[in-house]
Structure 1
Amino acid sequence: MIMKRNLLHIVLAVGLGMALAGCAVYPAVQVAGGAMTGYDAVVFADANLPKESVEGGQIQCDSDRMLERRLRERLRLGGVHTVSAHVINGHAYLVGQTDSRAQADQALGTARTLEGVRLITCKFYPRLTVREAQSDAALLRTVSQKLAATKRLENADLRIEVIRGTAILIGSTSDHSQKTAALAIAGEVWGVRDVVDYIAVAPSAQAGAGTSRVASN
């Protein structure tokens, strides 16, 4: 009788472990927005993946950098060379060009299986022409320089992508005034057609942490 009870406990434990593992591998997927540039923006969250570090502070920054590096490496190894990856507080942003829906799904799948990523936002565009790519590169330099030269953006962690004249701002600011300023500055650059806001405002308790970083990729 005791052996039967122990066997039942083992079976239940194994079943529970398989169920929890299934939750981690297959997070819920939500499709949001309607991009006019090829593919819809896709956002999906996996609420079951545990956070490996506390929110904010040096520990979170180190974790984000590690995840970002691993994600970029996996994308390149998978042959996805035209999609950039950024990670802010465990939130992965995939932005770039894709040749097909299959390639877009491959990029999503790569990020989806990376342990530690808890949220993914994607914005994909069709492949650019050489002239479009050159124009975007020039705009990227201008936007990056203007943001980097703005003293109001101290303690802000911003990354900039420019695709088809659209400036995509990714990162975090210490308050809403910094976020508003960054979006306004990018929108005022001649040649920028639109600005996409992927900027998160950090909690007030963390407003004074960190140093200013404006990066382009």
Structure 2
Amino acid sequence: MTVPARIIAAASALLAAALLCACAAAPAFEAAGMAKTGYDVAVLIDESAPKDRVDFHGDYGCTDQVLARRIRERLLIRGYTGLTANVYDGHGYLFGPAPTKKWADGAIKIASSVQGLRVLTCRFFPPSDNPIHDRDRTRFLAARMAKDKTLDPARVDAVVVGNTAVVMGVVPEQAIQDHALDMARDVDGVNEVLDYVVIVTRVDPEKNGEAPDETSPDDSE
């Protein structure tokens, strides 16, 4: 059966358009070189991400849970496994082992393509000698945090890579932040705890119109 020429032409046009979208230049983000302790990068999404990218989901006031799920899905689709992604108040966190800096940069570009993120903070580590132990210790710590009454008012998560525990999230006061970090230090085999917990004091906007006051670990140093 002969396919009409107009159908072939239409299909070719659609394929060309798809290739152009797929080959669009991704944003370039600078990061410090990979070292034994990993490296940090803070990406200002609103300033750096391309505004003309195609996003089939769109941003309609997405919740943090939805944004985190989209980051994880896009990473998995592209073959990036072993990373932890969470979002708190539009601030994304991406942590985990990375075999090379190029691999880590690819993960950053994929995560930052999720529309609705304000900031993306990343920390990468050399691959662990025993990823199964890392998984088990991460699950153990997550289970303890989920049952802990002190952390009820907070949104706190943690991941263990090698001998390092990374704690991230949003808490209402210093005492709860300290408690979360202490819980990570108590995990067997952990000898370093990295603090990415932000203290946020919620303010009723109807009373004084002020935005929530955020204090990051860097602000207190």
TM-score tier after normalising by the smaller chain length: 0.5 to 0.7
Rounded to whole Å, the distance in 2 between the matches of 1:84 and 1:201 is: 21
Letter in 2 for 1:175: E
- 1:202 maps onto 2:200 in alignment: yes
Secondary structure of the equivalent of 2:168? strand
* Structure 2 partner of 1:89: 89
Aligned residues: 170
Rounded to whole Å, the distance in 2 between the matches of 1:33 and 1:196 is: 19
* Structure 1 partner of 2:17: none
Rounded to whole Å, the distance in 1 between the matches of 2:67 and 2:201 is: 22
Letter in 1 for 2:173: D
Residue deviations 1:51-90 (CA, integer Å, cap 9, x gap): x68xxxxx6xx52111111111111111111222111111
Call closer, same or farther: CA 1:157–1:35 in 2, change over 3 Å: farther
* Structure 2 partner of 1:46: 45
Flag structure 2 segments of 5+ consecutive residues without an equivalent. 1-25, 52-58, 205-221
Rounded to whole Å, the distance in 2 between the matches of 1:145 and 1:66 is: 22
* Structure 2 partner of 1:77: 77
Rounded to whole Å, the distance in 2 between the matches of 1:135 and 1:82 is: 13
Q: How does 1:30-179 map to 2 (within 5 A)?
A: 31=31, 36-37=36-37, 39-48=38-47, 63-129=63-129, 132-179=130-177
Q: CA RMSD in A?
A: 2.7
Residue deviations 1:25-57 (CA, integer Å, cap 9, x gap): 858x564798633x311112134489x68xxxx
Letter in 2 for 1:40: Y
Letter in 1 for 2:100: S
Rounded to whole Å, the distance in 1 between the matches of 2:139 and 2:45 is: 35
The alignment's TM-score, normalised by the length of structure 2, stands at 0.67
Structure 1, 105-114 or 137-146: larger mean CA deviation: 137-146
Identity of aligned residues (%): 29
Rounded to whole Å, the distance in 2 between the matches of 1:168 and 1:92 is: 14
Letter in 1 for 2:77: L
The alignment's TM-score, normalised by the length of structure 1, stands at 0.68
Rounded to whole Å, the distance in 2 between the matches of 1:35 and 1:151 is: 37
Call closer, same or farther: CA 1:91–1:35 in 2, change over 3 Å: farther
Rounded to whole Å, the distance in 2 between the matches of 1:34 and 1:176 is: 31
Secondary structure of the equivalent of 2:39? coil
Letter in 1 for 2:155: D
**Per-residue deviation, 1:145:** 3.4
Residue deviations 1:148-167 (CA, integer Å, cap 9, x gap): 33322221111111001211
**Per-residue deviation, 1:205:** 2.7
- 8 Å Cα contact 2:33-2:101 kept in structure 1: no
Rounded to whole Å, the distance in 2 between the matches of 1:178 and 1:184 is: 10
Call closer, same or farther: CA 1:68–1:125 in 2, change over 3 Å: same
Secondary structure of the equivalent of 1:41? strand
Rounded to whole Å, the distance in 2 between the matches of 1:33 and 1:156 is: 33
Secondary structure of the equivalent of 2:203? helix
- 8 Å Cα contact 1:139-1:192 kept in structure 2: no
